[in-house]
Structure 1
């Protein structure tokens, strides 16, 4: 029995499949089998595979296309190795991959699956240099606990390189096969099921080559059909989180869950998860909100359960109906625009503006504002939206220059009328968010990529409720200070008034004494003794004058 089974599903990859097979056969670790299931290719993929005569290759064919999920299931059924490595038929293994990952799993029995960093390559195998490409750095991840990975998958979806994985076959059998109902997110669904029970690890080396094909030809490429399908699949995948078995596990996965929403029993986990999605203001994908509303309706379908939920957390039909009217789940409201205003020396104006349609129902955005030719633009002002409070987290922001090169923008230092959060996101608590940028020479276009979240009615109500609460607290504080100051002034006034009364009483007594002395003096002047001694006073005065 081989130590490693390499699983490959092929479909219409005649241009790449030979390179993929050669990358496996050229591995330094030779104890493997390569099991290939062709999903009814209509080109010459099978002929390319059949050119190889290596006995370690086993080929199985579908007579017609059945879908990637069923092809993967058939492939897994045929695997015999202790470890399973996965390779897409348009990707490649880099030298030493199997040997390095087998050594790691042998030395770390506590790890169920090991991944690696990936070399992003183009159509011809050349390293991808376009830093604005979605895949350029998406797989550059650090190691986390399995609960932290579940949290990351919940908020940010997939970031693990599928053709870099090697997993123990016992774990693969325990977790189960890929879901054949899923195409865009089948691997993400598997990672979530895996991390609900087992730890994983990412090696720092680049051991796989992930090919980015032209024209968004990858299965995960940003085509409308792929994006629509991903939304539907994401709703199904999120159900795994409602099935967390214990409150302790739920809180380990979601330590950020507010205290008021934390479940007190496993029965309340789905309700707590749904309310956390809707009420905490995290910038999430539309699939999250649809999943949350559907979950609440399902949980409140049983009247007996409604009674128990109401007794424990006070959430019943009235709260459900209120939430149902607060979110535009299907983007029913009219479309919006995101605008780039240009300053050519005379300031910003509506006349000099590049406008792009924006679907604010989607969590992610990729924008490319082409600057009009012939204009010498000095500054630009990006208005993400008008009339909405929003949170924006930038992932990439760069200028495309006329020579085809890119100039990165340090968005953390840009001037804007929002508030920078601890996680680097911009929070705009106003109806007219603005971001200001200087325009370099030879700039041709501005490329922006990131995530945005526009506040719901519930979040706006909560925001204004907080403002009202702060205003009430400020009013109460000022009222208390006023009362304290008035009491202090009244006490000081009473003291001053007492002192004034004391001084007034003293003055009245002195006046009485003065008046009494005047009366005594007048009485003395009118007395006989005063008149009899008058000559003596006269001669005494003259004597004193002569002595001088």
Structure 2
């Protein structure tokens, strides 16, 4: 609870480590929300850059900045960021991603009014290092717009071979169910988001909104770009786990299709990173040309 006994409707938490390049832009995208009843928790992971200074430079009273004494692993830092939240609804936003101004306005009411929902997600843009849209309106393919049971979502995730739900920035969840489900798993570091979404969907239904309400930034040298094989291996392991766990009504045909689709999902990810790298090299060339 906040001082005075006031509790916000929703918490947005930003775990940040050496994120000075984009952190201010990310924070501004939160503060520009049309839905105003939120708190913003920024967990600074003992960075060596100006991340802490930037986080504390915003005077908005809804912002609370916490700092780790030592650098935690990404899963531990993400879990602590959620643990610091005070609201029943939570969104984790990576320190280089962005929210559309109406994101909370459109995502909070369905979750607040319908206790049967475990997740609300939207589409998101893929953006480059200059915040330019390189792939618009991505996600929720294969019929994930609308309300669906956990089993329906599991079958679509398996058949997709990648992450059709999306990253944390375009997803809203309940903190109580997050804790019960076990939070972010360190043994699924490269698909922590999708792994968590599927465990949360054991506690309720999924709502996919057709609007594009977030932006996921693809950078050169990002964790995803550097660890493609690990992503692929964890994705394949998740497909097998969903197919055999019994938590969802998944057919053997779904798993067979998923095994075939996993390499296609890998190819799509590689294509995204290639587009981002091309844009970055073009920017460098234009900068060099101007300087010369």
TM range (shorter): 0.7 to 0.9
- TM-score computed with the length of structure 1 as normaliser: 0.43
- TM-score computed with the length of structure 2 as normaliser: 0.78
User: How big is the shift at 1:365?
Assistant: 6.5
Kept in 2, the 8 Å contact 1:35–1:59? The answer is yes
Residue 193 of structure 2 corresponds to: 187
1:152 counterpart = 2:156: yes
Alignment partners' CA distance in 1, 2:264 and 2:127: 27
Alignment partners' CA distance in 2, 1:125 and 1:281: 32
Alignment partners' CA distance in 2, 1:39 and 1:127: 28
Residue 175 of structure 2 corresponds to: 169
Alignment partners' CA distance in 1, 2:112 and 2:69: 39
1:256 counterpart = 2:253: yes
Alignment partners' CA distance in 2, 1:122 and 1:281: 29
Q: Could you say if the C-alpha distance between residues 66 and 80 of structure 1 is closer, same or farther in structure 2, counting changes exceeding 3 Å?
A: same
Q: Could you say if the C-alpha distance between residues 104 and 64 of structure 1 is closer, same or farther in structure 2, counting changes exceeding 3 Å?
A: same
User: How big is the shift at 1:140?
Assistant: 4.5
Kept in 2, the 8 Å contact 1:178–1:186? The answer is yes
Alignment partners' CA distance in 2, 1:239 and 1:255: 12
1:64 counterpart = 2:70: yes
Kept in 2, the 8 Å contact 1:83–1:169? The answer is yes
Higher relative contact order (CA 8 A, sep 6+): 2
Q: Could you say if the C-alpha distance between residues 123 and 281 of structure 1 is closer, same or farther in structure 2, counting changes exceeding 3 Å?
A: closer
Kept in 2, the 8 Å contact 1:39–1:67? The answer is no
Residue 39 of structure 1 corresponds to: 45
Residue 29 of structure 2 corresponds to: 23
- What SS class does the counterpart of residue 18 from structure 2 fall into? coil
User: How big is the shift at 1:230?
Assistant: 1.9
Residue 287 of structure 2 corresponds to: none
Residue 223 of structure 2 corresponds to: 219
Kept in 2, the 8 Å contact 1:39–1:68? The answer is no
Alignment partners' CA distance in 1, 2:223 and 2:266: 19
Residue 139 of structure 2 corresponds to: 139
User: How big is the shift at 1:366?
Assistant: 4.7
In the TM superposition, 1:528-547 aligns within 5 A as none
Aligned residues: 258
User: How big is the shift at 1:34?
Assistant: 0.9
- What SS class does the counterpart of residue 101 from structure 1 fall into? helix
In the TM superposition, 1:402-481 aligns within 5 A as none
- What SS class does the counterpart of residue 211 from structure 2 fall into? strand
Q: What RMSD over aligned residues (CA atoms) do the two structures have, in Å?
A: 2.8
Kept in 1, the 8 Å contact 2:12–2:92? The answer is yes
For structure 1, the residue ranges without an aligned partner over 5 or more in a row are 130-135, 258-275, 286-361, 368-395, 397-403, 405-548
Alignment partners' CA distance in 2, 1:180 and 1:63: 20
For structure 2, the residue ranges without an aligned partner over 5 or more in a row are 1-6, 272-278, 280-292
Alignment partners' CA distance in 2, 1:182 and 1:282: 18
